[in-house]
Amino acid sequence: MQYIDIVGFTGLFKVPDMEVNHALITALVEQWHLETHMFHLPHGEMGITLQNIEVMLGIPVDGLPITRKTNIKWSELCRELLGHEPLPSIPNSNKSILLGARIRYMWLDAQFAAPLATDTDDEVVQRHAHYHLLVWMRALLFMDKSANWVSLMPLQFLNPISNVR
């Protein structure tokens, strides 16, 4: 958890398991307007702000925006920060593990299925921290309709973990 604290995402792991009120979700979905990205309610328009996300998830949103280069070699970044490099994509195949900046969840999850030993070295612990952050971000922030893929985009911003000793 110390590595997750360093990048400021401890709040993701404190989100309680809440029971979902399906009627409320349905009512909100019906009031959502794609054109304005707002809820149109009887008392006026309402949107979700970064401050709402900060309060609900405990993720800091203060400071300058983070930007990085866009010509990233995702397989190399996976090898560097996760310790596993997916096989190259197969054109026109449904069996590819890595497509652009997305990786198959089942493959990624299988790489980290074994529990950590008590004497695990620090580099492996950091890789597991990267993995858990990706999975939690996928579950709470960057959901995919297919539920089969994980975006690797957040991985490029997790380098501060790797710089801590």
SS (H, E, C) the chain: CHHHHHCCCHHHHHCCCCCCCHHHHHHHHHHEECCCCEEEECCEEECCCHHHHHHHHCCCCCCCCCCCCCCCCHHHHHHHHHCCCCCCCCCCCCCCCEECCEEEHHHHHHHCCCCCCCCCCHHHHHHHHHHHHHHHHHHHCCCCCCCCEEECHHHHHCHHHHCCC
The pTM assigned to this predicted structure is 0.67
pLDDT digits (tens, 9 = 90+) for 84-115: 988 776 666 677 888 888 888 888 889 998 88
Question: What is the reported pLDDT for 48?
Answer: 85
pLDDT digits (tens, 9 = 90+) for 114-165: 888 888 888 888 899 888 888 877 766 666 666 788 888 777 766 545 444 4
Which range is least confidently modeled, 10-19, 27-36, 73-82?
Answer: 10-19
Q: Could you tell me the residue ranges of all domains in the chain?
A: 2-64+71-162
